[in-house]
């Protein structure tokens, strides 16, 4: 669906392009993708962050399947991930 955009160390889903099929949810190797109706309350702030970053002009669409980043397992349990967010 070309919904995903990739930044330096973060992926987002373009809300306007997403058809809410939820096919990406089980594909995420660390369980970081939720359908918006299933999003835990403590993560609801990511809705706004996702929408804002999806419009970032330097973040390019992902148009084909990619392997997970090599350190994806390391980040699974990291709290406060936003402290590490790189925008450019």
Burial class (CB in 10 A: 0-12, 13-18, 19+), 3: middle
Q: Where are the alpha helices (DSSP H) in the chain?
A: 45-54, 72-75
User: In degrees, to the nearest 5, what angle opens at C-alpha 1 toward C-alphas 54 and 87?
Assistant: 20
Is pLDDT above 70 for 1? Answer: no
Structural domain boundaries, residue 8: 4-84
Is pLDDT above 90 for 55? Answer: yes
pLDDT in the model for residue 88: 65
Q: Write the pLDDT tens digit of every residue in 12-21.
A: 999 999 998 9
CATH number, domain with residue 56:
3.30.70.20
Query: Domain count of the chain?
Result: 1
Q: Write the pLDDT tens digit of every residue in 4-50.
A: 999 888 889 999 999 989 899 998 888 889 988 999 998 999 999 99
pTM: 0.82
């Amino acid at each position: 669906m070309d919904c995903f955009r990739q930044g330096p160390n973060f992926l987002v889903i373009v809300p306007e392009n997403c058809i809410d099929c939820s096919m990406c949810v089980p594909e995420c190797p660390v369980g970081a993708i939720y359908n918006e109706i299933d999003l835990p309350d403590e993560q609801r702030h990511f809705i706004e962050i996702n929408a804002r970053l999806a419009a970032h002009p330097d973040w390019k669409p992902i148009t084909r399947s990619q392997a997970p980043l090599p350190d994806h397992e390391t980040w699974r349990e990291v709290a406060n991930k936003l402290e590490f967010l790189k925008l450019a």
